[in-house]
Structure formats: structure tokens, C-alpha cells
Structure 1
Amino acid sequence: MRRAERLAEIVEIVRDGRLHKADDLAEALSVSARTIYRDIASLIASGVSIEGERGLGYILREPVFLPPMALTGAELEALTLGMEIVRKTADEELTTAAISLLAKIERHAALRRRAPSDWGFGVYQPAFKRRGFTFLPIIRRAIRAGHKLRIAYLSLSGDVSERTVRPLQTEYWGQVWTFSAWCELRGDFRVFRVDRLDRCEATDAVFSVESGKTLRDYLNRVAAQMSKVAQDDG
């Protein structure tokens, strides 16, 4: 891989808003960590807003500017429906972002003589289902930064447990939000309903990538379980 291609690949990797360590970048690009340090320094010197330091990791903080693109009517409808769902079913932070994005879409869609607001989408979410939404931004930021969370979780039986977890991803199931994590109390993966969190606090502890505890490990386990269920049903 040529250096220019590698630099572009580094930007693509770190632009997801998550913290990436030099060793992980080096492994992904089949180069040494020393090469990654030099590449990061070159990118920063050229004006790319990458933040971080050796031993901690790197993240791209600047907003992402997409190149001009042509969208079909169906693509605009799909994007608008997605943002309407986010607007009605997510926390205030994502709701605000969805409203802003919808406004930008409307300005461009007006050139087609049909605004997204005319497409007739209606999305409804019971108010009580929004309980716990205040914790979602905390969880998302912890996922991006690779920080552990300290939570108090209310079980279906009414018991409250204190846990330290490594958040991996959030999930929306049409009625409730959950987040999957490595639970240090149980020493295993667990899925927590956001509306059953009594407390959720970010810590300063940064968790490193450990084999058997990553999102990929979790998704592989879920896929294996689903495959086994399908085989049993067959």
C-alpha cells in the first residue's frame, strides 16, 4: 500500500468518532506502530484535525464533510424516514442532529420541487418509552472514547446491581433501547436495557482491546448462537 493510500485509510478509520490506538492501526494496515506515529504527525501537520497521543489513541474530532452526491427520490425518502425515526425514538442529542439534517435535506430536495415533509411519513413512540434516554449520550460517548461505564442496573425482579462495564454498541428494538457490553462483574458479555438503568456514569478508565472482549467477539458469538438455533429448528 502506498503512503498516500495509507494516510487516506487512517483518516477513514479514525473518522468514526472512536478512539483508535496506534498498535491497532498498525495491525490493520500491516505496518509498524512507528510508521503510524509518523503518518499521524504528517496528517496533523497537513491540517487534519486528529487528536490524541502515543499510548492513548487517536480520534478525528472535526465534522465530516461529504463530497457532492446525487441521490434518487427513493434514497431521499429512505434518508428522511430514517431521520424521522431517530427524531421520535432517540435522545435529545440525536433528535437535535436529526432535525438539523432534515432541514439540510429539505433545502436540497426543494430543487426537486418536493420537500421531504411532503412524503407523508408518520412515526409514533409512546412517551413512557423515552425513559432512560438521558443516558444514551453518555453511553455513546463512552463507546467512542473507549471509556468504562459505572452503572446501577435494575433487574426484572427488582434487584439493583452495581457494575463496571465496557460499552460496545447500542441497539434499538422498535420499543426499547439496549446496549451490549463486557460486564466486569459477570466476566462475560451482557445486554442492558437503557430504561432499566438507575444510574449511568462515565469513568476516566480507558479499556484496551482484549481478545474475547471486543464487539467483534460479541457479534461472532451472537452469530454462532443464531446459527445453532437455525440448525436445531431445521
Structure 2
Amino acid sequence: MSKSGRLFEIIQILRAADRPMTAQAIADALEVAKRTVYRDIAALQAMRVPIEGEAGIGYIMRPGYDLPPLMFDAEEIEAIVVGLAMLGRTRDSGLLNAADRAGRKIASAVPGHAGPLADRTLYASSWNTIPESETDTRFFREALRDEDRLRIDYKDAEGKASQRTILPLGMIYYIDAVVLAAWCELRADFRHFRIDRIAGADRLDTPFHDRAAALRRQWRETANLP
């Protein structure tokens, strides 16, 4: 999570708390070190955010502090709410946590008259879930962001195993599977790998920044993507 994201989350946590929050409790909620929370609290206080307290005792937010509203119209809010809800079927814990944070940001920042729209947007909880992967999907998303090569152990639909070195280019969320699009060095071509068929994966720490943009553009053209 970026520093700006952490600062926003700390504000949200303190606004929602009914008692002082310790730095450790905030750190656990954000999955960061306690020292990071101390630095972020100090940064917020320097920006005149009304946070009171100190290390070892806990922090509170003085009442009356509001964030500027997000100017979404009714349909935009409904689209966001439905999209966040549909992430539940991906089984991607990183995305689910991010969706929860995004939902709280929207709930706290939308104009008052728009908030109830989220309560009126319903969805079925019995969607068919995507098959679970041996590797946390966050691992692949991080490799995508860092443009880093991966070595994967893969089994195709017939159960035939192979080891591949790939350059990850994109993640595609289908109704019944999550697919990693990549340049496969073994086949010297673009390939699509179902995440639930990847038995193991390692980052090689050999980024391909110099090729990433061209490969991604070529892949999108080949796959007829916009």
C-alpha cells in the first residue's frame, strides 16, 4: 500500500474508532510495522489532521474532521458497488482486502444522499467461485507490476506437466477461471496460463522492463483487445 493510501486508512480507522487506538492495533489492521504507523501519524499531525495521543497510550481523532466528498452520480456508485462485490468470487485475498478499503472510502466520502444506494444494490452470494490456486494470486499481480520473470510449474487440461519461464503481461478474470497472459520463453510465443493449474511459481528477479511495453502492446493486438 502506498503512503497516501496508508494515511487515508489511518484517518478512516481513527474516525470509526470509539476508543483510543494503539499504534500496534493500527499496524495490524494495515499489515505494516508499528514504526511505520508512528511516522504516518506524525506526518498527518504535521498536516494539521486533528489526531491526539502518543506512543504507548493510543490515538484518537477529534470529532468534526471530514474528507471532501467524491462526486459520483447514482449509476457510478452502483457500478462501483457491484464491481467490488463481484471480486468475492475471485478468492484473491489481496483484492478482497483492497475492495473492503475502497468500499469504506466510498461510504465515508460520498455525499450523504448517495450513500443509501449501496444498500439498495444487491447481489447473489451463490456465484460460482473461481477454482482456488496453489499460489496466492497477489504473487502474480505483484510480478506483473514489477515486470519480473517467473518460473512456473504448469499442468495443462490433460494433466501434462511442464516447467516454463514466462514474462507476465496481464491478468484476465473469466467467469470460471483467472488466467495469466504471458510471453512463454519455451514456446517463444504468447500463452495463457490458468492460475489454478500453476502448481508452483518463483520470481527470478530478472525484470524485463525494456520489453514489457512492446510485448504487452503486441499481445493485446494478437488477442484483439482494446
- Range class of TM-score, shorter chain: 0.5 to 0.7
Amino acid at match of 2:99: A
Residues 178, 192 of structure 1: 8 Å contact kept: yes
Could you tell me which residue of structure 1 aligns to residue 138 of structure 2? 137
Question: In the alignment, is residue 160 of structure 1 matched against residue 167 of structure 2?
Answer: no
Hey, which bits of structure 1, 4+ residues long, moved more than 3 A?
123-127, 210-213
Amino acid at match of 1:154: K
Residues 82, 123 of structure 2: 8 Å contact kept: yes
Question: In the alignment, is residue 118 of structure 1 matched against residue 120 of structure 2?
Answer: yes
Structure 1 residues 176, 79: CA separation in 2 closer, same or farther (over 3 Å shift)?
Answer: same
Residues 70, 106 of structure 2: 8 Å contact kept: no
Give the % identical residues.
28
Deviation for aligned residue 1:125: 3.5
Deviation for aligned residue 1:212: 9.7
Separation (CA, whole Å) in 1 of partners of 2:120 and 2:212: 49
Amino acid at match of 2:199: D
Deviation for aligned residue 1:155: 1.1
165-174 or 96-105, larger mean C-alpha shift:
96-105
Amino acid at match of 2:121: W
Show the 5 A alignment for 1:8-157: 69-109=70-110, 111-112=112-113, 114-127=116-129, 129-132=130-133, 134-157=135-158
Separation (CA, whole Å) in 2 of partners of 1:87 and 1:110: 26
Structure 1: where are the runs of 5+ without partners? 1-66, 225-234
Residues 151, 163 of structure 1: 8 Å contact kept: yes
Structure 1 residues 210, 115: CA separation in 2 closer, same or farther (over 3 Å shift)?
Answer: closer
Deviation for aligned residue 1:107: 2.5
Q: TM-score with structure 1 length normalisation?
A: 0.61
Deviation for aligned residue 1:133: 6.9
1:141-177 Cα distance to aligned partner (Å, 9 max, x none): 1111110011000011211100110000000111110
Separation (CA, whole Å) in 1 of partners of 2:206 and 2:119: 44
Structure 2: where are the runs of 5+ without partners? 1-67
Structure 1 residues 133, 69: CA separation in 2 closer, same or farther (over 3 Å shift)?
Answer: farther
Aligned length: 159
Partner SS state of residue 201, structure 2 = strand
1:101-127 Cα distance to aligned partner (Å, 9 max, x none): 112222334711515133222353345
Amino acid at match of 2:222: R
Q: TM-score with structure 2 length normalisation?
A: 0.63
Could you tell me which residue of structure 2 aligns to residue 173 of structure 1? 174
Partner SS state of residue 103, structure 1 = helix
